[in-house]
């Protein structure tokens, strides 16, 4: 098992999410940066969807109670094993009693910890992901706290067989501060004036402190509508960008609601979800339009890097 000595700022159990239940109003949840979690899992020999830990900004302090492999991916929070600095995107071997902690934030926002075998919490609707607003999934539907103990499933292979593996740098997402994010415009562009569409694609928006796993609220030049009414509620995707009456966009993310009635000006492409997941309040965003075909190609290119790594 893993023992929690310090819980960190916000540490939760996450996997690829709870798919297939949005029609009942159940949020998908899951890792905000699913690519980082999948990469860490592959490094330790797990299936890419195995449950691990999502750690935000200030990492936890954890004690390993058996020999195991672990890997970290995503944000660099200054990881240390028994006080010695270690690298992200690398499989490490932890001896029984070893202590993992974090010296302090360096880049990104969310780091992911995969442990050989995966975190063993109950499956609820096919997933181990924590849904904080619903208070279920993960460990009792909440963030980790002092003295929690997380059981770990048996490893798929001997830990020492994977130690030292590195996920290639050219396979990782192009994380950067203040990114330009690619979006597919619409489907409700007719709700906005031509000037509003131009503003959306030509100005910066700042992520506000009123942002969380459910969505990022942005602040910038308001987007004026030419249709004042709201929509009949429609389904929402990961990365949907809604515009409420105040004209300030909201990017809906992992813990989003299943339906909504604000008009959608664009949707973030799946290949750029890892980039937004590593952005924090105060960061600035720009948006660039792409076609559906381009969005599909970029998704296949990014996730194809995982398939390529599996064959190395």
Residue 92 has pLDDT above 80, yes or no: yes
What pLDDT sits at residue 210? 95
Closest-CA residue to 224 (of 250, 206, 200, 257): 200
What pTM, to 2 d.p., does this model score? 0.95
Residue 311 has pLDDT above 70, yes or no: no
Measured CA to CA, the distance from residue 139 to residue 303 in angstroms comes to 29
Tell me the pLDDT band of 228, cut-offs 50, 70 and 90. Answer: confident
What pLDDT sits at residue 292? 97
Mean pLDDT of 81-87: 97
Residue 161 has pLDDT above 90, yes or no: no
**In which residue are the tokens 């999502």 written?**
54
Residue 125 has pLDDT above 90, yes or no: yes
What pLDDT sits at residue 158? 75
Among 46-60, 108-122, 230-244, 275-289, the range scoring the smallest mean pLDDT is 230-244
What pLDDT sits at residue 112? 98
Measured CA to CA, the distance from residue 136 to residue 150 in angstroms comes to 16
What pLDDT sits at residue 157? 73
Q: What is the mean pLDDT of the chain?
A: 95
Mean pLDDT of 296-307: 93
Listed in sequence order, the residues at least 6 apart from 6 whose beta carbon sits closer than 8 Å to its beta carbon are 60, 61, 101, 146
First to last CA, the chain: 29
What pLDDT sits at residue 310? 67
């Amino acid at each position: 098992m893993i023992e929690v000595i310090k819980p960190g700022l916000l540490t939760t159990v996450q996997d690829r999410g709870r798919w297939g239940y949005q029609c009942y109003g159940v949020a998908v949840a899951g890792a905000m940066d699913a690519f980082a979690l999948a990469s860490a899992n592959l490094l330790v020999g797990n299936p890419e969807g195995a449950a691990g830990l999502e750690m935000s900004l200030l990492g936890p302090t954890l004690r390993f109670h058996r020999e195991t492999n672990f890997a970290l991916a995503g944000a660099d929070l200054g990881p240390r094993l028994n006080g010695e600095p270690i690298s992200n995107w690398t499989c490490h071997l932890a001896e029984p009693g070893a202590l993992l902690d974090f010296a302090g934030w360096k880049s990104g926002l969310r780091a992911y910890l995969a442990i050989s075998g995966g975190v063993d919490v109950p499956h609820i609707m096919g997933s181990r992901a924590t849904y904080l607003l619903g208070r279920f999934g993960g460990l009792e539907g909440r963030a980790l706290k002092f003295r929690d103990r997380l059981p770990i499933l048996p490893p798929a292979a001997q830990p020492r067989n994977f130690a030292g593996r590195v996920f290639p740098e050219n396979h990782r997402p192009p994380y950067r501060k203040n990114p330009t994010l690619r979006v597919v415009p619409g489907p409700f562009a007719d709700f906005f004036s031509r000037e509003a569409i131009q503003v959306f694609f030509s100005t910066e928006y700042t992520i506000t402190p009123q942002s969380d796993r459910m969505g990022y609220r942005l602040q910038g030049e308001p987007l004026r509508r030419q249709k004042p009414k709201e929509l009949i509620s429609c389904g929402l995707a990961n990365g949907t960008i809604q515009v409420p009456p105040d004209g300030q966009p909201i990017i809906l993310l992992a813990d989003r609601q299943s339906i909504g009635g604000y008009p959608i000006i664009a949707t973030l492409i799946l290949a750029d979800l890892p980039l937004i997941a590593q952005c924090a309040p105060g960061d600035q965003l720009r948006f660039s339009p792409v076609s559906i075909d381009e969005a599909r190609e970029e998704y296949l290119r990014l996730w194809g890097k995982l398939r390529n790594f599996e064959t190395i």
